[in-house]
């Protein structure tokens, strides 16, 4: 673990402790105000609220504004049980416990030494329950002389426990929500750190792989150009295969790096006004060798070249090249690819790439944008890609405020539609 991560973890820990203290303080203030309100209605009574710690079954002091601080410290951490004073017994049995004389009641045998020196002689304790009926604490009424409760005092006890339950439940819900949000933020921060680390690793590997691959491609190209001497016909065939393999490997590296950047949110976009005619002209020229190799006809006569997109030009070209390359791959020899444009609604431009290829079922259509998905078919040939082309294309489209969708029918063909904002 790096020093920076350790420091960040320590800072998070300090912040969480501060928030915990603040939440406990808020709860304490609200419960103390409640006790003062009940004490105002019953002037001879001194109230106390203990919170049950479910992990160890102890009752923790929370609020007792009129009781001596020393007594509050003494009862803090008291364990609930069948013979544990008024509060410990009430929490254990889940019912109200009325002790009219602390000096003689057996429930106080182990605890009366704490109470009597402070003049506490009677104590009635009632469980505080949450909305599921679980005991979360106790509300106690102390008196300075032996006595039994009146009907009004019992009614006030009922009211006090209901209000205390609302305060405690709300405080716990708020704490749980904050904790959940903190965990989510921590998870997101960890995911961002992991993405940055992954991106750095892929970028490093990309650089390390590019250097020897560029050398391989460069030397093979020089030999094809007759340097240092003319190559034989058989050597030319091998050299062309080497160059093709080098270009394929470079494409795989570029795809992996692009995907990592998109996942890490590190991809930058230069959004500008982009002419549909300009983009299609570039795409047509770049895809021509691949289409010509399979004798595939290309038609973009249904495109309005005057339409203008609001997008990143280079990435728009990249998406369309991916779509056409995919169409060529799964279209038999002498098939056709048609590109069309449309304005599905104001502010949007649609570019569709339709092929006469093998088509797909609805199940396959639902999978094609998932990363690393490959479809094996004899029409596609033996060359394998990363399975990231359409994944990257959709993410690029969405990052520019657009969308990439698919419609297909087995044996008929497929259309992939790119929708982007218009200028």
pLDDT tens-place string over residues 136-192: 999 999 999 999 999 999 999 999 999 999 999 998 888 888 888 888 888 888 877
Six token digits for residue 296: 């595939």
Rounded to whole angstroms, the Cα distance separating 340 from 304 reads 8
Separation between Cα atoms, residue 144 and residue 46, nearest integer Å? 9
State whether 175 and 196 are in the same domain: no
Report which of 335, 341, 319 is spatially closest to residue 391, judged by C-alpha positions.
319
Last residue of a domain, one of 156, 184, 212: 184
Do both 88 and 214 map to the same domain? no
Instruction: Let me know: does 100 contact 150? Beta carbons within 8 Å.
Output: no
Q: In this structure, are 88 and 169 located in the same domain? A: yes
Asked if 279 and 322 sit in the same domain, the reply is yes
Tell me the mean pLDDT in the region 20-28.
65
Residues 207, 262: Cα–Cα separation, whole Å = 18
CA distance to 181, 183, 235, 396, per residue, from 176 (Å): 9, 10, 71, 37
Between 233 and 382, the higher pLDDT residue:
233
In sequence order, what are the beta bridge partners of 124? 98, 141
Of 238, 264, 290, the residue at which a domain comes to its end is 264
Please check whether residue 388 is in contact with residue 380, taking contact to mean a CB–CB distance below 8 angstroms.
Answer: no
For position 286, which CATH number holds? 3.30.565.10
Beta bridge partners of 413: 409
Per-residue pLDDT at 106 exceeds 50: yes
CA distances from 334 to 130, 384, 416 (A): 74, 22, 20
Residue that is last in its domain, among 264, 294, 312: 264
Residue 35 shares a structural domain with residue 169: yes
pLDDT score recorded for residue 319 = 95
Taking a C-beta distance cutoff of 8 angstroms, is the pair 353, 337 a contact? yes
**One domain, residues 25 and 150:** yes
Q: Which residues contact 78 (CB under 8 A, 6 or more apart)?
A: 50, 58, 59, 84, 85, 87, 88, 111
Cα–Cα distance between 299 and 54 in angstroms, integer? Answer: 73
- Provide the pLDDT confidence category of residue 2 given band limits of 50, 70 and 90: very low
Q: Distance from CA of residue 63 to its chain's centroid?
A: 39
Percent of the chain predicted with pLDDT > 90: 59
What is residue 13's predicted lDDT score, i.e. its pLDDT? 47
Residue 384 pLDDT: 54
Q: How many residues does the chain have?
A: 423
The pLDDT, as a whole number, for residue 11 is 47
Low-confidence winner among 127-131, 237-241, 321-325 (lowest mean pLDDT): 237-241
Residues 166, 26 share a domain: yes
Please give the order of strands across the beta sheet that includes 78-79: 78-79, 58-63, 46-53, 135-143, 122-129, 97-99
Does the pLDDT value for residue 371 go beyond 60? yes
Specify the number of domains making up the chain.
Answer: 3
Total Cβ atoms within 10 A of residue 412: 11
Q: What pLDDT sits at residue 377? A: 56
How far is the C-alpha of 387 from the C-alpha of 120, rounded, in Å? 78
Question: 């410290």: which residue's tokens?
Answer: 73
List the domain range (segments joined by +) for residue 10: 3-184
Residue 414 host element (H or E)? strand 413-421
Residue 303 has pLDDT above 90, yes or no: yes
DSSP H helices, 42-124, are 69-75, 85-93, 112-115
Q: Long-range contacts: 176-179, Cβ < 8 Å, 24+?
A: 178/19, 178/23
Q: pLDDT exceeding 70 applies to what percent of the chain?
A: 91
Kind plus residue range of the DSSP H or E element containing 22: helix 3-41
**What's the token pair of residue 99?**
């002790």
Does 334 share its domain with 295? Answer: yes
C-alpha–C-alpha distance, residues 383 and 13, integer Å:
52
Here the CATH number for the domain that contains residue 92 is 3.30.450.40
Are 260 and 337 members of one domain?
Answer: no
For 205-241, write each residue's pLDDT tens digit.
777 777 888 888 888 888 888 888 888 888 888 888 8
| Cα gap 414→411, rounded to integer Å | 9
Question: 164 and 240: one domain?
Answer: no
The mean pLDDT of the chain is 87
Q: Out of 7-11, 227-231, 351-355, 377-381, pick the least confident.
A: 7-11
CA-to-CA distance for 118 and 224, rounded, in angstroms? 103
Q: 7 and 117: one domain? A: yes
Asked if residue 194 and residue 80 are part of one domain, the reply reads: no
Q: What is the pLDDT of residue 229?
A: 85
For the cut 70, the answer to whether the pLDDT of residue 383 exceeds it is no
């Amino acid at each position: 673990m790096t020093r920076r991560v350790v420091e960040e973890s320590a800072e998070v820990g300090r912040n969480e402790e501060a928030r915990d203290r603040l939440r406990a303080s808020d709860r304490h203030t609200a419960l103390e105000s409640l006790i003062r309100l009940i004490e105002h209605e019953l002037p001879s009574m001194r109230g106390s609220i203990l919170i049950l710690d479910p992990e160890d079954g102890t009752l923790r002091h929370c609020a007792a504004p009129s009781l001596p601080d020393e007594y509050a410290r003494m009862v803090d951490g008291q364990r609930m049980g069948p013979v544990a004073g008024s509060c410990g017994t009430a929490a254990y049995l889940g019912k109200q416990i009325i002790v009219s004389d602390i000096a003689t009641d057996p429930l106080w045998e182990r605890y009366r030494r704490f109470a009597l020196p402070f003049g506490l002689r009677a104590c009635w304790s009632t469980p505080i329950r949450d909305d599921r009926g679980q005991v979360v604490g106790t509300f106690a009424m102390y008196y300075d002389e032996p006595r039994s409760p009146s009907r009004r005092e019992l009614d006030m006890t009922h009211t006090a426990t209901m209000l205390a339950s609302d305060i405690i439940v709300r405080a716990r819900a708020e704490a749980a929500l904050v904790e959940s949000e903190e965990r989510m933020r921590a998870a997101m921060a960890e995911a961002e750190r992991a993405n940055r680390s992954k991106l750095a690793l892929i970028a490093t590997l990309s650089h390390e792989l590019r250097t020897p691959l560029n050398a391989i491609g460069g030397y093979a190209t020089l030999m094809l150009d007759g340097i240092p001497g003319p190559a034989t016909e058989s050597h030319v065939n091998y050299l062309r295969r080497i160059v093709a393999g080098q270009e394929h490997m470079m494409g795989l590296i570029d795809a992996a790096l692009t995907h990592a950047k998109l996942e890490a949110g590190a991809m930058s976009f230069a959004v500008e006004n982009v002419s549909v005619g300009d983009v299609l002209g570039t795409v047509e020229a770049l895809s021509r060798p691949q289409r010509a190799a399979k004798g595939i006809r290309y038609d973009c006569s249904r495109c309005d070249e005057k339409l203008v997109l609001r997008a990143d030009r280079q990435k728009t070209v990249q998406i369309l090249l991916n779509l056409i390359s995919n169409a060529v791959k799964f279209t038999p020899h002498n098939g056709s690819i048609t590109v069309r444009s449309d304005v599905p609604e104001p502010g949007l431009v649609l570019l569709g790439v339709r092929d006469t290829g093998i088509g797909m079922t609805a199940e396959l259509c639902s999978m094609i944008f998932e990363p690393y998905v490959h479809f094996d078919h004899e029409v596609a040939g033996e060359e394998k890609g990363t399975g990231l082309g359409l994944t990257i294309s959709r993410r690029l489209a969405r990052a520019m405020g657009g969308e990439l969708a698919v419609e297909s029918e087995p044996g008929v063909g497929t259309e992939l539609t790119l929708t982007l904002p218009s200028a």
